Amino acid sequence: MDDRNRLLALAERCEASSRPDRGLDADIYEALGFTVRRKPTRFATRRTPAGGIYQQGSLWKSLGAVSGDIDTAVTLLREKAPGWSWSLQCLVSDDSLAFQALVAECSGQGVIGSLALCAAMLRALARRTGEPGEQP
């Protein structure tokens, strides 16, 4: 699967998710170009970071809950695409609550704001990846 299709598939996973997911967090960090080490299933201790760790420069940091924390999603968006415009709105009806995000003219939806923002960001990155001469 090429990078563009991988980003689009991940955006669809964000929209289909009904709750934050640490596996999805790791996949998003990988899609954004970080080296990720997932939380081990064996030999894990209480000090082992939830979800795993990622490399930023020469440092290893704990994975942020990008699928469940809007602050983490906004921080990653600003880091990976500092000049892009974005917006997030809440759509309320009598029986449901949903969020819609717009990042660089690409939209995303989700049951929580961070998932909608991640979906829109991944679609925008996929579009940029699909343009000739551009890299994410």
**pLDDT tens figures, 72-105:** 999 999 999 999 999 999 988 878 889 999 999 9
Tokens at residue 20, please? 């934050």
Per-residue model confidence (pLDDT) at position 90:
93
Strand partners, 37: 53
As a whole number of angstroms, the distance between CA 67 and CA 20 comes to 5
pTM: 0.85
- Write down the domain spans for the chain: 3-130
As a whole number of angstroms, the distance between CA 20 and CA 55 comes to 22
Please tell me which residue, 11 or 37, carries the higher pLDDT value: 11
Model confidence band, residue 136 (pLDDT cutoffs 50, 70, 90): very low
CA dist list (Å): 46 to 39, 40, 43, 49, 135: 11, 12, 10, 8, 38
- Judge contact between 118 and 66, C-beta under 8 A: yes
Answer whether residue 59 shows pLDDT above 80.
Answer: yes
The CATH number fitting domain 3-130, selected from 3.30.2120.10, 3.50.50.100, 3.40.50.620, 3.90.1150.10: 3.30.2120.10
The pair phi, psi for residue 103, each rounded to 5°, is: -130, 120
Per-residue model confidence (pLDDT) at position 71:
95
Per-residue model confidence (pLDDT) at position 53:
79
Answer whether residue 47 shows pLDDT above 80.
Answer: no
Give percent of the chain above pLDDT 70: 85
